[in-house]
Structure 1
Amino acid sequence: MTEADDVIEIENQDELELTAHPHQMGTDTQIRIAKEQSSIFELLRKESRGDLVLAPDFQRKNVWDRKHQSELIESILMGIPIPLIYLFEDEEGVRQIIDGKQRITALKQFKNNKFTLTNLSMLPDLKGKKFDDIPPILQAKLEDYQLHSYVIQPPTPEYVKFNIFERVNRGGINLNKQEMRHALYQGKATTLIQELAESQQFKLATGNGVKPNRMRDRYLVLRFVAFYLLITNQFTDSSVQYRSDVDSFLASVMKYINTKASAQLIEHAKSVCLYGMESVYQVLGDEAFRFKPKAGGNKRPVNMGLFEMLVFAFCYVQPDQLDHSKAKSLVDTYKQNVDDEGLFSGSIDTSENVRARFDTAQKIAQGLKNA
């Protein structure tokens, strides 16, 4: 593998970037944002009970070091105000920290004696001390310190949550939409797509051409699972619909998996995706999800549309019953036609393009069975 291959990203990467949302808020849009305050002791108690969930890190290198953590503790003990915390509350009343995770993590670790204070400029006498080592009056001061927060509550629409999330994160790392979904919809859905993205089947089928940085790998498998369940009519209510808005669609799918999907449906989606990827690899090898290079051009990236189309097609066939040479020739013909027609260039997520993609997948599946 060349150095160039090692940094290959998903084609159509613009689908991953933050853009203005197509929705326009109407007069009937309900947005509920409550301003609250609670002591550090109360907040950590909620976290220990599972009523408050710390959102995951997106990039490990941004985790606070001990100096930053110690400065936070010092500021609180001096009575200096710290920035607002933003929380999202789901329909079950569980809250998730979206902005303020590093602060709460530092407080939790210090309260649990996980680190000693260092690099203190204003309270040098506390250097080298853990929570249990500082005077009881300071322990009480820390626990009683009031944290101010904004709580985004139901029924605030998902696209409004995304907009708020983008705004509060502008001061730090610019999150892409999959990272935002990963933070907002922790649960069975994030576990499922993590298992698929880290599977041997995914790595082999993509030739390790989709790197996990910025969650591009998880975005790819989430799209397949979501569209597979949609196309095969496996959603049991109207909470999941597709109207050419892939972000709202993927958000609704993750919520559905977390709250309404049966264990059997989740396992089915997982096994179908794994089987489809393994079948693709057995028959087509690790270049299946790439179009042929343009004349005189370099190796092309893994393509999202090809991934969805081919995994869908191959989850309906049995590789050991195929003539691999004929199957590869058939698929190559379809791929060339799709590439020539530009079906997967530009916006691939209009309702029309989604239907065309999976209609083609079904034709490929039928052609493989008849080959």
Structure 2
Amino acid sequence: MRRSRLADEDIDAKYVRENVKIVKMAMRYPLPDIVGMIETGDYKLNTEWRRRHQWNRVTQSRLIESLIVNVPVSPIILYQGELGKYEVIDGIQRMTAIYEFYKGQLILKGLEEWPELDGHTYFQLPLHIKKDFDRSYLPALIVLPESVKSQEYAKRFKQLVFKFVLHRHNSGDVEIKAQKYRHVIYNGPLNNLCLKQARNPYLCKTWNIPEPTPEEFASIKAVPEVLFHNDAYRNMDDIDLVLRFFAFRQRHKHPEESPENYLDNFLNYGNRLPKDVLNQLEELFNQTIKLVYDVFGDKSFCLWVFKDGTARPSKAVYDSMMYVFSQHLEDAETLLQHRHEFQTRMRTFYEKNFEHFETQSLTDMSIMTKRNKLIEEFVTSIIGSKYEK
């Protein structure tokens, strides 16, 4: 059914008023230039995104093969900020593969059309293939600063570009989940803190994530391959868990906001917090996660599913357990003295209160408040109330 003329005019007026259109420019970069683009630092590659979504050698090799046989390759998407500086919105892995091939770090494997080149580095390519490869280009679309009317609009604009590029035209990657989106749009000091604490050994132990190794912080290539097969790591759920701890301690002040909007807004706000406040938050997280682990062990955040007798990590349990224990840090010695009783009685507690933790709902403040109250009552039933001491 056709809308009224007035409605159409309103829509046109909005289009003219907001003029939300991306101004872009098409470019082609000679492949040898990719090395300099990365090494100069003028093209900002999100290191943690590369770390978490690193292509394997076969995928990298097949990109190189496509360039060798001149198959069209999707353009990378660059966002031009200050003059001569660019953020790579889409194309990090393509640029990385080309860079590593030119540096001799990528040994081709798993090629389909040219299996004869398996085992070759760039320096070992036959002469004519190497020359033709060097004459090839990587297409690019540069989103120009004319797209952004003001600094206030810049963040909203990046969200729009990211949404269209990675949500609507995403290929070869997993679904872009909320925390991945936040990580790109709201990068900053609090986001970096969440990244750091996502590799906290106690968080890893309780969420079945391979624990960190000293080498992985030195280089992307030193990250154990087993991490790439861990869903919580790849989907950045571990980063989300850290952010939730910080954010949900203040959730009662914003009960009307949806959880996703609230986490977005809190991260944006938290990135502007003073360094000493961020240090305090980091210490609070460290103390809380360690205390919970010391009391409950690697089943700290598991919800017992009595139908099949299993226990799985649950965000509903995590949110409330971390919140309540952060309020009892001064009772750490007493909590540890009763760890056996906590572990013995925990299963009975969930059996009695399973319905409150079964749902993962975070939109209903009454449910979250009820969970917190139940965990608090469970804790004080063992160690006594603060007010009784």
TM value normalised by structure 2? 0.64
Q: Cα offset for 1:306? A: 1.6
Q: In the TM superposition, what is the alpha-carbon distance from 1:304 to its structure 2 partner?
A: 0.8
The reply on whether 1:74 has 2:74 as its aligned counterpart is: no
TM-aligned CA deviation for residue 188 of structure 1: 3.8
The answer to whether the aligner puts 1:148 opposite 2:140 as a matched pair is yes
- Equivalent residues of 1:222, 1:250 under 8 A apart: yes
1:105-152 residue CA offsets vs partner (Å, 9 max, x unmatched): 12323444545778675x99xx7653999689768734xx46231538
What is the rounded CA distance, in whole Å, between the counterparts of 2:375 and 2:86 in structure 1?
A: 40
Is residue 2:326 matched to residue 1:315?
yes
Does the CA-based 8 Å contact 1:205-1:278 persist in structure 2? no
The equivalences for 1:266-277 within 5 A come to 266-277=278-289
Aligned twin of 1:212: 233
TM-score (norm 1): 0.66
Match of 2:243 among 201, 222, 239: 222
Structure 2: how far apart are the matches of 1:116 and 1:31? 44
Q: 1:225 corresponds to which letter in structure 2?
A: F
Comparing 201-210 with 268-277, which one deviates more in the overlay?
Answer: 201-210
2:174 corresponds to: 173
Match of 2:263 among 221, 244, 250: 250
Structure 1 position 92, deviation (Å): 11
Distance 1:331 1:158, change over 3 A: farther
Structure 1 residues 353 and 97: alpha-carbon distance in aligned structure 2, compared to 1, 3 A threshold? farther
Confirm or deny: 8 A CA contact 2:198 2:239 kept in the other structure: yes
Deviation at 1:320, TM superposition (A): 0.7
The answer for the alignment partner of 1:347 in structure 2 is 361
Tell me, what secondary structure is at the counterpart of 1:300? Answer: strand
Deviation at 1:62, TM superposition (A): 4.6
Q: In proportion to residue count, which structure has more helix?
A: 2
SS of structure 1 residue aligned to 2:22: strand
Three-state SS of the structure 2 residue aligned to 1:195 is: helix
Task: Give the Å deviation of 1:264.
Answer: 1.8
Whether the 8 Å CA contact 2:44–2:87 is kept in 1: the answer is yes
Rounded Cα–Cα distance in structure 2 between residues aligned with 1:244 and 1:232: 10
1:53 is aligned with what amino acid? K
2:96 aligned partner: 105
Identity %: 18
Report the Cα distance in structure 2 between the residues aligned to 1:88 and 1:352, rounded to whole angstroms. Answer: 42
CA distance change for structure 1 residues 190 and 47 in 2, over 3 Å: closer, same or farther?
Answer: farther
Match of 1:33 in 2: 22
The root-mean-square deviation of aligned C-alpha atoms, in Å, is: 4.6
How much does 1:181 deviate? 3.6
Q: Which residue in 2 is equivalent to 1:197?
A: 198
Q: Does 172-181 or 26-35 show the bigger shift?
A: 26-35
Q: Which moved more, 1:46-55 or 1:155-164?
A: 155-164
Distance in 1 of aligned mates of 2:92 and 2:376: 45
Look up the SS of the partner of 2:324 in the other structure.
helix
Distance 1:93 1:339 in 2: 56
When the two structures are aligned, how many residues end up with a matched partner?
328
Q: CA deviation at 1:282?
A: 2.8
1:274 is displaced (CA, Å) by 1.6
1:250 Cα deviation from its structure 2 partner: 2.7
